[in-house]
Structure 1
Amino acid sequence: MSQSSDLSRLQTHDIEIGVTDALQRHASRHVAQHKPVSQRVLDYERRRPRWLRECIGEATGVFLYVFSGLASVAAFITNGASKEPPVTAFSSFFQIGLAFALGIMFAIVIAGPTSGGHFNPAVTVALTVWQGFPLKKVPHYILSQIFGAFMAALLVMGMYREQIVRYEEALTALGMPLVSATGPAGIFCSFPAEGQSMGYLFLIEFFVDSFIGLVIWSCIDPANPFVTPATVPIVIGVGYGVMVWGFADLTISTNMARDLGSRFVAAIFYGGEAFSYKSYCWISILVNIPATLFATGFYELFLRDSIQMIHKGGVKHAEGEEGLRRYLSDVGVLKDENEVTAMHMARTEAIGMKN
């Protein structure tokens, strides 16, 4: 009889509803509650300069992802000759790519809401060219990004100092250079391997950076139905990781700020050769910007659908409702210039309620 009663209740969903309610009550008892916001806090936040907050956000974001990535590189290089345990116990190219990918995800989640999450001078420049990011903010953003990478590299140098010194001593005893792709300076920035030509390295860097630029631009397209704000950090992080997994062994930089800020640290400890080695640094520092502009320009010219952006509420027509009505009339969507479709009215109302 009891079993029959339970089956009857199951058919009416009483059991499921009861369990769900119990779980919700249990979870709610353990949620930390924020204390009320005081007037002092509000006054402080109102007086806090917006430009300073954005710069700190950019520096923090770059710091987070460069710190994560360089730490994995340091583990890989300093233990490269290890036999017991083998080097794979410390790191690998896969782990390095994953460290950078997860670092970018954390950077976007933590600092993205504060500054917009550029974390790359090339992205800042592309946003200025294509989407009207204020030109006066560009120097502040780029300097902040470079500073964040510099601090990350400096901290990794300090935390791995004992291992790096032992590695330096081992290389010196063997008569091998400290500034090279596999030397301690290679922990902090990219150096070409023997036999690689500058033209070859330029093409690799250009197409790798273009790939990453396309991924980023598709993620910030409000009309893209496959990417939500919650998945943007994951998609961008994985896109970056894929390029590291595929081309890190061929020498790539991927980010002017990440390379330049870290290269300053390499120059402090290993001299000016960090910049002069095989005349490569101009590729690692500068190619990222034209490559990203190429990728974003390709997206803007061939893949962008502006009417979908307007429909999704991501942007407005430059001439307002009248300009949009005139365009829809010209393409035949509106038979009468004064007609406003029910879909557009519903969309406008929904946007207004959301705001």
Structure 2
Amino acid sequence: MGHWTETSIDSMSNTQKEIGVTTTQDSGSTSVYLGSKHESSIHDLSPDNGTSAVEPPLLWSKWRTYGREAFSEFFGTMILILFGDGVVAQVMLSHNQKGDYQSISWGWGLGVMLGVYVSGASGSHINPAVTLANCVFRKFPWRKFPIYAMAQLLGAMCGAAIVYGNYKSAIDVFEGGRDIRTVPGYSDTATAGIFCTYPADFMTKTGQFFSEFLASAILMFMIFALKDDGNLGAGPLTPLALFFVIFGIGACFGWETGYAVNLARDFGPRLTSYMLGYGHEVWAAGNYYFWVPMVAPFLGCTFGGWIYDVFLYTGQDSPINTPWMGLKRLLGPLNKKGVMSSSPV
């Protein structure tokens, strides 16, 4: 390893800048830092005809820094759909020769686990209902909610489009033609179920809603438990633990409605399938079931998070552990006239 030499020159102006030069003999490279008395930043210099200049940051690096959380949620949700819709497509289009219902549970579990790994920079929500619950119970900034939700929705749409492109030829054969695209309940060879959920024929609207509400509540309850260091917690094994959570929900509660538990996971691919030619039936199927996985996950995840915080969580970041179980924080301080003067939300 080469040795280091450093020279500092104090300027005569009020800026009081410090300049240090380091040289590494092995590599022949030079770096310089410029800063005030209390801070400095490092820039790499490339020798050019005996002169050196500080290179500005790359433009894309700036954009990536600003949008990293959104990109993280986009690609995490896309990975979720690639594996989830992909396994449904393989099982269905192979006439169950390449797997069965349990294979679907495994595939969705893998999709969640790998999506969580991909989206670690943003907190690995990959679900608008999970983002909402974190806003309500974990002080996640409300201003980020629409950004996260949009990124998740677009990621799900992109994942569904990729799955369709990969299995298009198999879909043509299964449906019976290149221009035939049908929806469950309208055809015995329907393939729209590859992309989004459709309820069993016997399900009532109340049953549909309760099934999605229950699965979503279990999901959020378990996420808070796995992330609670005051409990046993899962630490770095959280993605693996979530794999088993999703596998368990699918294996135990998924048959009746397909356990969407995620607006982005269901609405995004449903919108993609509509754009690909599956028609108005993607909205009308199941007595207009489409709105259930859009609404129930938000209520279910919020309820599941509330249950966990009321009975198990002791952290002070939860509104449940503040005066009036969060009502005071929500309403804000009142002025002398009894009128709400401000809100911390």
TM-score by length of 2: 0.70
Aligned to 2:117: 109
Deviation at 1:248, TM superposition (A): 2.5
Q: Note if contact 2:227-2:233 (Cα within 8 Å) is conserved in structure 1.
A: no
2:63 corresponds to 1:48: yes
Give CA deviations for 1:39-75 in whole Å, capped at 9, x if unaligned.
4696557623544111110010001111101110001
Aligned to 1:127: 134
2:288 corresponds to 1:288: no
Q: Note if contact 1:77-1:183 (Cα within 8 Å) is conserved in structure 2.
A: no
Aligned to 2:309: 300
**Cα distance in 2, alignment partners of residues 294 and 264 from structure 1:** 27
**Cα distance in 1, alignment partners of residues 203 and 56 from structure 2:** 56
Matching residue's letter, 1:135: W
Matching residue's letter, 2:311: F
Q: Percent identity?
A: 26
2:193 corresponds to 1:178: no
**Cα distance in 1, alignment partners of residues 43 and 252 from structure 2:** 51
Aligned to 1:79: 94
Deviation at 1:38, TM superposition (A): 8.0
Q: Note if contact 1:68-1:100 (Cα within 8 Å) is conserved in structure 2.
A: yes
**Cα distance in 2, alignment partners of residues 226 and 300 from structure 1:** 14
Instruction: Specify which of 57, 62, 73 is matched with residue 72 of structure 2.
Output: 57
Change (3 A) 1:133 1:51: farther
Matching residue's letter, 1:70: D
Give CA deviations for 1:124-182 in whole Å, capped at 9, x if unaligned.
11111111111111111000001011000000000000010111118999xxx821167
SS in 2 for 1:163: helix
Change (3 A) 1:96 1:38: farther
SS in 1 for 2:255: helix
Q: Note if contact 1:171-1:178 (Cα within 8 Å) is conserved in structure 2.
A: no
Runs of 4+ in 1 over 4 A off after TM superposition: 37-46, 170-173
Q: Note if contact 1:93-1:248 (Cα within 8 Å) is conserved in structure 2.
A: no
Aligned to 1:267: 274
Matching residue's letter, 1:134: P
**Cα distance in 2, alignment partners of residues 235 and 97 from structure 1:** 14
Aligned to 2:246: 240
**Cα distance in 2, alignment partners of residues 242 and 169 from structure 1:** 35
Change (3 A) 1:156 1:172: closer
Q: How many residues align?
A: 264
**Cα distance in 2, alignment partners of residues 178 and 78 from structure 1:** 14
**Cα distance in 2, alignment partners of residues 59 and 281 from structure 1:** 22
Q: Which has the higher strand share?
A: 2
Q: Note if contact 1:61-1:119 (Cα within 8 Å) is conserved in structure 2.
A: yes
SS in 2 for 1:266: helix
Q: Note if contact 2:172-2:178 (Cα within 8 Å) is conserved in structure 1.
A: no
SS in 2 for 1:48: helix
**Cα distance in 1, alignment partners of residues 61 and 196 from structure 2:** 39
SS in 2 for 1:157: helix
Superposed counterparts of 1:1-355, under 5 Å:
39=44, 47-48=62-63, 50-80=65-95, 87-88=96-97, 90-112=98-120, 114-169=121-176, 178-180=182-184, 183-228=190-235, 230-251=236-257, 252-268=259-275, 269-277=277-285, 278-306=287-315
Change (3 A) 1:290 1:41: farther
Query: Gapped runs of 5+ residues in structure 1?
Result: 1-36, 81-86, 310-316, 318-355
Q: Note if contact 1:93-1:244 (Cα within 8 Å) is conserved in structure 2.
A: no
RMSD: 2.8
**Cα distance in 2, alignment partners of residues 94 and 41 from structure 1:** 53
